[in-house]
A and B are shown apart, each in its own frame.
Chain A
Amino acid sequence: MAQQLLKGNNAFAEAAIRAGCDAYFGYPITPQTELLEHMSARMIELGRVFLQAESEVAAINMVYGAAAAGAKVMTSSSSPGISLMQEGYSYIAGSEVPVVIIDIMRGGPGLGNIQPSQSDYFQVTKSAGHGDFHPIVLAPATVQEAIDLTVLAFDLAQQYRTLVFVVADGAIGQMMEPAELPPMRPLPARAPDWALTGAKGRSPNLVNSLYLGADSLETLNLRLQDKLHAIESAELRYETIDVDDADLVIVAFGTAARVAKTAMQTLADEGIRVGLLRPITLWPFPTEALYDLSRSGKSFLVVEMNAGQMLLDVKAAVGADAPVSFFGRMGGAIPMPEEIVAAAHNALAQPAFAWAGA
C-alpha cells in the first residue's frame, strides 16, 4: 500500500479498522473528535459496531461489555474523558478482557485547554484506576508510528487479554504526514472460548472482577502480576540514537522527542556529544537501559510537555548519583528546539529542573 497524506486522528482510526477492530464506542472530545467521526462512517460502511455513547462513563462500560462478548473493541478520548473512563479500566483489568484505548492528550488540569500535552503520563502509566494493574502504554511520535502502534495495540490486547493504551499529544492527532496504512485484516470467524456468546453446548462463561474472599482475590492479583511481569520482559520498546558515545542523553517521548531530535542537530554541530533515548512503551518503561547508560557517567536531560512526570521514572532508573536535568512546557505549550539546546547546555554545566514560561 502506497504512502498517503494522513491526519493523525484518521490514521489511528483507519489503522484500528485494518487491525480488525469490530466494535467502537466513543464520545466527542477535542482534540480526538476526528477519530470518532472517522469510525462513525467507516465502521457502519463495513457493517461493524459503532455507537456514540451518552458519556465517556457509558462508552467505557459499553467497551467492557463488547470485550466480554468477544469483540476486538476500542474507544478513544482525550484527557478529561480518559479521567472519566477510569472506572471501566479497572473492571477491564480485573476481568482480563482485551481493550484498546487511544488517548489524544490535551492540557490540564481540569477542563484545561485543547492544546497538545503529555500530562496524562501519570494517569495512564501509574493510576489508570483502583487496584494493582498497569495498562500497556504505547507512545507514537509520528503518524506512521501511530498506525503501527495501533495495530500492535490490538495484537497485545488479544495476546495478554489486557488493556492497551496508545497515547499521543494533540499535535500528533492533528498533524498531517505521509504514512502507509496496513492491508485490511480479515475478522476472526468466531469469538474466543471465554467470551459471552450464550452457553450453547457448553457450561456458562462468566466475566467478572468480583472475588469476595481475600484468598481468591489475592490469587487473581498474583496471576495479574505474573502477566505484568511477562509483559515487562517481552514487550519493552524504545529507540536510541547515538547514546553510546554521548555525554548527555536526552530522554523524551512523542512530540517532545521529535523536537529533541531537531535540537540534537544543533548540539552536534556545536561539537556536543548528545544522544536520545525515546521510550516507545511508557509502560513497561526502559528502566534497565537507562540504568546501564547511567553507569558510564552520562548526564541526562528529560524533556516533556508536562511538569516532569516521566522524570520520576528516569530518576528512579538512574539512581540518586546520576546527574538528571529536566526541561518541560505545560498547559499545551510545545518546547522549541532552541529551548532544548539551552537546557542541554545548562544540563552539562549544572543539573537543574526548569520550566519555561510562555
Chain B
Amino acid sequence: MLDTLPLENERLVYARPRTLASRYTHYCPGCTHGTAHRLIAEVLDELGLQDETILVASVGCSVFAYDYFDVDACEAAHGRAPAMATGIKRYHPDKIVFTYQGDGDLASIGAAEIIHVANRGENITTIFINNAIYGMTGGQMAPTSLIGQKTTSSPFGRDTQLAGYPMHMAELLAGIPGTAYSVRRSLHDARHVIQAKKAIKTAFEAQMAGIGFSIVELLSTCPTNWGMTPGDSCDWVRDQMVPVYPLGDFKVADELQQARGRSKR
C-alpha cells in the first residue's frame, strides 16, 4: 500500500481512481504506461464498469497490467490477447472486455489476431500503446519504429530495404468493416492526455453500445530504451512520432457519431 498524506482541512480534487490498484508499478520513470493506466481507470470509474470488466493483459512492458487494475484479469500469450478476449467476450457478452497491448504484441506477432478481431466486429476494446520500440526485451526494433530509428536490433537505423516501414495500425484497422472506432491520440503533454481520455471513454462506450470493435492507439514514451530524459521523450513524440503517426479519428461508426452529437446538445 502507498503512504498517503493526511488530508485534514484539504479539499480533495484528485485521487486514485477506484479501478486503479493501490500498488507501486514496475514502470520506468517518465514512461507513459502509468498515464494510460490512470486514464483507463478513470474512464471505467466514470462509466461504472469496474465490476463488469475483464482485462486481457499482453506480453511486453505491460505484462503486469493485471496487477495495476482492480478488475478480473488474465494474461495472454504474446500477440494473442485479441483471441483470448474473443473467447471471454463470446462467453460473457454482457461483460466489458478490453486488451492492453504494445506495438510488438499488437502489430508484429499479433497482427493476424488484431485484424480478425476487428473483422469479426468483436465487441471488445483495445488500448494500443505505440512507443516505436520493444520495451521489455530491452529496446529492439518494433514494426512501428521510425525509418532510421536506431534500436538494439537496428543499430544502423531502421532501413526500409531490410526491415520495411512503420505500420499504421489505427489507419489499417479503420479500413475494416467490423471496426466501430479507431483513433490515434498521444500522451506527450497535458492537452493531448485529456484528448486521449475522451477517446478511451468513447471506445468503451462503443463496446457498451455493442456496435463493434474499438481501438485507441496511444503514442507513448520509452525514455529508458530511447536513451532520453522523460521531458526529451515527450518532445520526441511531438517532433518525431506525430509527423509519422498523425493524430486523428480514422473510423467513427455512424451510431457513435449520432450518440456524440446527442451528448453535445
**Interface 1/0s, chain B 151-168, versus A by CB < 8 A?**
000000000000000000
B83 and A69 within 8 A (CB): no
Hey, which chain B residues are within 8 Å of A209, CB to CB?
A: 75
Count the A-B residue pairs with Cβ separation under 8 angstroms: how many?
Answer: 129
- A198 located at the interface, meaning its Cβ lies under 8 Å from any Cβ of chain B in the complex: yes
Q: Is A88 an interface residue (CB 8 A)?
A: yes
Interface of A is mostly: mixed
Whether B88 contacts A66 by the Cβ 8 Å rule is: yes
B interface residues with partner A (beta carbon < 8 Å): 50-54, 56, 63-64, 66, 70-77, 80, 83-88, 90-92, 95-96, 112-113, 116
Q: What distance in Å separates the Cβ of B52 from its nearest Cβ neighbour in chain A?
A: 5
Structural contact, B75 and A197, CB atoms closer than 8 A: no
Q: Do A198 and B54 form a contact, CB below 8 Å, given A68-B84, A69-B92?
A: yes
A283 at the interface (CB under 8 A from B): no
Known contacts A58-B113, A73-B87: A65-B56 contact under CB 8 Å: yes
Look across to chain A and name the residue whose beta carbon is closest to the beta carbon of B63. Answer: A210
Nearest A residue (CB) for B69: A204
Is A196's beta carbon under 8 Å from chain B? yes
Chain A residue contacts of B83, Cβ below 8 A: 53, 57-59, 61-62, 64-65
**CB-CB < 8 A to A49: which residues of B?**
90-91
A88 nearest CB neighbor, chain B only: B77
Quick check: is A290 within 8 A (CB to CB) of the other chain? no
Query: Contacts of B54 on A, CB cut-off 8 Å?
Result: 69, 196-198
7 interchain residue pairs of minimum CB distance: A65-B87, A61-B83, A65-B84, A66-B87, A62-B87, A61-B80, A207-B74
Considering the chains assembled together, what is the distance between the CA atoms of A210 and B73 in angstroms?
Answer: 13
When distances are taken between beta carbons in the complex, the residues of chain B under 8 Å from A51 are: 86, 90
Taken residue by residue from 317 to 343, chain A's Cβ proximity to chain B (1 for < 8 Å, 0 otherwise) reads as 000000000000000000000000000
Question: Which A residues are CB-close (under 8 A) to B75?
Answer: 206-210
| In the complex, chain A residues whose CB is within 8 Å of the CB of B91 | 22-23, 49, 65-66, 69-71, 73
Is there contact, CB below 8 Å, between B84 and A205? no
Interface: A199 (CB within 8 A): yes
Q: Which residues of B contact A58 (CB under 8 A)?
A: 80, 83, 86, 112-113, 116
Q: Is B87 a contact of A198 with CB atoms below 8 Å?
A: no
The residue in B52, B76, B83, B95 that gathers the most chain A C-beta atoms within 10 A of its C-beta is B83
Bound-complex Cα distance A73 to B83 (A)? 14
Report A57-89 CB contacts with B as 1/0, cut-off 8 Å: 111011111111111010000000000000110
- Evaluate contact between A68 and B66: CB separation under 8 angstroms: no
Which of B71, B77, B86 meets A199, CB within 8 Å? Answer: B71
The reply on A300 being an interface residue by CB < 8 A is no
For this complex, 8 residue pairs linking A to B, each with C-beta atoms less than 8 Å apart, are: A23-B87, A55-B112, A62-B87, A64-B84, A71-B91, A198-B54, A198-B72, A199-B71
The complex places the Cα of A201 from the Cα of B52 at a distance, in Å, of: 11
Q: A49-B91, A63-B87 are in contact. Are A197 and B72 (CB under 8 A)?
A: yes
Smallest beta-carbon distance B101→chain A, Å: 13
User: Which residues of chain A are near B63, meaning CB under 8 Å?
Assistant: 210
- Chain B's closest residue to A50 (CB) is B90
Q: Of A25, A91, A210, which is within 8 A of B87 by CB?
A: A25
Q: Are B74 and A206 in contact (CB under 8 A)?
A: yes
Listed residue (B53, B76, B85, B86) with the most chain A CB atoms within 10 angstroms of its CB: B86
Please give, as numbers and ranges, the residues of chain A lying within 8 Å of B64 by CB-CB distance.
210
> What's the least CB distance linking B249 to chain A, in Å?
27
Min CB distance A331 to B, Å, is 31
Alpha-carbon distance A70/B88, docked complex (angstroms):
9
Out of B73, B87, B112, name the residue touching A206 (CB < 8 Å).
B73
Starting from the known contacts A49-B90, A64-B77, A209-B75, 11 additional A-B residue pairs (CB-CB under 8 Å) come to A23-B90, A23-B91, A25-B87, A51-B90, A58-B83, A61-B80, A61-B84, A62-B86, A87-B77, A197-B92, A198-B53
CB-nearest residue of chain B to A70: B91
Cα A205 to Cα B66 with chains together (Å)? 10
A204 CA to B44 CA, complexed, in Å: 15
Residue of B52, B72, B86, B92 contacting most chain A CB atoms (<10 Å): B72
A165-180: which residues lie under 8 A (CB-CB) from chain B?
A: none
| Pair B116/A54 contact, Cβ less than 8 Å | yes
In the complex, per-residue mask of A187-202: 1 if CB is within 8 Å of any chain B CB, else 0: 0000000001111110
For residue A206, which residues in chain B have a CB less than 8 angstroms away from its CB?
66, 72-75
Q: Cβ of A204: which chain B residues have Cβ within 8 Å of it? A: 70-73
Chain A residues, Cβ within 8 Å of B90:
23, 49, 51, 62, 66
Q: In the complex the two chains form, what is the Cα distance from A245 to B29 in whole Å?
A: 75
Contacts of A197 in B (CB 8 A): 54, 72, 92, 95
Q: Tell me the bound Cα distance from A197 to B89 in angstroms.
A: 10
Contact flag A54-B92 (CB < 8 Å), given A25-B87, A61-B76, A66-B87: no
Within 8 A of B (CB), among A26-72: 49, 51, 53-55, 57-59, 61-71
Q: Across the two chains, which residue of chain A brings its CB closest to B119? A: A54
**Contact (Cβ within 8 A) A201 B74:** no
The answer to whether A64 and B87 touch across the interface, beta carbons within 8 angstroms, is yes
A65–B50 CB distance below 8 A: no
CA distance A69 to B71 in the complex (A): 13
Residues of B within 8 A of A70 (CB): 91
Kindly state the separation between the CA atoms of A196 and B74 in the bound complex, as whole angstroms: 8
Residues in B neighbouring A200, C-beta threshold 8 A: 51-52
Closest to B74 in A: A207
B23 to chain A, nearest CB (A): 12
| B80 and A201 within 8 A (CB) | no
